[in-house]
Amino acid sequence: MTLSRVHVSLDGTRDYEVLVGHSLTDSVAQRVRAICPTAARAFIVVDAGLPRAASDHLTSALSSRQFATATITIRPSEADKSLETLERILVALAESKHERRDPVIALGGGIVGDVTGFAAATYRRGVPVVQCPTTLLSMVDASVGGKTGINLRTSDGSLKKNLVGAFHQPRLVVADVALLSSLPDRQIRAGLAECVKHTLLSGQFGDSSLLSWIESVAQAILARDPATLAELVSRNVAIKARVVAGDEREEAESAAGGRALLNLGHTFGHAIETLPDLSPTGNPADAPLHHGEAVALGTMAALHAATSLKLAPSALRDRVGTLFSRLSLPTNVRGLPSGERVLELMGHDKKVQGGVLRLVLPCDGGVCNVVENPDRAIVLAAIESIRA
């Protein structure tokens, strides 16, 4: 399989590449040596959910490129995306005598990538970080763009997601689809929800055929055909790279969209993701919703609102709903609380500023609009549209 490269353009000095392919461990070591020619050490943060062989191969490939390696394994849960885990990594970096020129490598899903990136942003005021994502979601989304961080538990006991962090762009990202073979189906689906979301803004970022391509290869994706997965990852990374290049620190005017466009489906999604009893299948044993499942439901609600506002034809909503169903993602859910309650939870979303609710709504042709303070009745009807 050919190796594909997506270039992330920032300011010319901090640009980097995302390599996408199959069985790339040796390429990681070779590229890390090229990026850090004088480094003596490499520090690897490993996701506890990975098969042991993944980190063993990376460690020996780095050793063969004259890196002394140190590793630390972390449990990837939102509760462990914490100050305590950050401290463990920082202490281990100090104890391994990690220097400013030495790279830190995140080998894991989005939680490992975010906390490792934040540790790299703060240790010695910043050391190089290389992201080696191992979930589909972290390949197509979390590893690219430089957002790093942890959650913070406040004194009322609540967990504030991603409240503390830094922008720290990686020097390199390597997405090795061979690593997806051990990923549970439900985690693959979580990544697919973000890929389908990308199809609704891809026209704006140079790939207007992404939706029809995913429809045409849905079976091969579910069968985890390596070449199809690699193309899926590289096309989605290309979109994320273009969004980030246009608005690195999410500072674009809201009407222009910028990085905030990636929140499509997330304002509804974040609200329902916090409800512990919702299940994607209706079976209570499958509760709560995973992030990707909430994003699929949120995207369906956004499509309903877009249809009501005549921004998008109802055929687009039906088409995306059919694709979510083929990918075993939910398009409606039992047990939603009242629309008013969901609306109140949407008001808690961290993207709501100054009490102004902003919804990213899909139009036809892979283009989205940001709509400020949409009519309340339209938002309530959108919530009702995903009630089973």
Ligand X SMILES: NC(=O)c1ccc[n+]([C@@H]2O[C@H](COP(=O)([O-])OP(=O)(O)OC[C@H]3O[C@@H](n4cnc5c(N)ncnc54)[C@H](O)[C@@H]3O)[C@@H](O)[C@H]2O)c1
**Other CB atoms closer than 10 Å to residue 126's CB: what's the count?**
12
Stretch near ligand X under the rule CB under 6 A, chosen from 17-25, 103-111, 204-212, 362-370: 103-111
135 lines the binding site for ligand X (CB under 6 A): yes
248 lines the binding site for ligand X (CB under 6 A): no
Please list every residue from 34 through 53 that binds ligand X, using CB under 6 A: 47-50
Q: Which of 181, 167, 137 is nearest to 296 (CA)?
A: 137
Stretch near ligand X under the rule CB under 6 A, chosen from 82-90, 177-185, 246-254, 306-314: 177-185
179, amino acid identity: L
Residue 2-41 contact track with ligand X, rule CB under 6 A, x = bound: ----------------------------------------
179 lines the binding site for ligand X (CB under 6 A): yes
If the CB atoms of residues 223 and 377 are measured against ligand X, the closer one turns out to be: 223
Q: Give dist(CA 362, CA 289) in Å, integer.
A: 23
Q: At its nearest, how many Å lie between ligand X and the CB of residue 8?
A: 13
In the numeric block, the tokens 């993602």 are attached to 329
Stretch near ligand X under the rule CB under 6 A, chosen from 38-46, 140-148, 205-213, 369-377: 140-148
Q: Give dist(CA 4, CA 379) in Å, integer.
A: 41
Stretch near ligand X under the rule CB under 6 A, chosen from 12-20, 132-140, 270-278, 328-336: 132-140
| Beta-strand pair 358-362/368-372 | antiparallel
Q: What is the largest CA-CA distance in the chain?
A: 63
The site for ligand X, by CB under 6 A, has a size of: 26
Q: What b/e readout covers 226-257, taking b as 16+ CB neighbours within 10 angstroms? A: bebbbbbbbbbbbbbbbbbbbbbebebeeeeb
Among 44, 70, 93, 114, binds ligand X (CB under 6 A): 114
270 lines the binding site for ligand X (CB under 6 A): no
If the CB atoms of residues 33 and 49 are measured against ligand X, the closer one turns out to be: 49
Q: Which of 304, 271, 303 is nearest to 288 (CA)?
A: 271
150 lines the binding site for ligand X (CB under 6 A): no
Dihedral of CA 293/295/299/302: which sign?
A: positive
Q: Rule CB under 6 A: which residues touch ligand X? A: 47-50, 76, 81, 108-112, 114, 134-135, 137-138, 141-142, 145, 147, 162, 179, 182-183, 187, 190
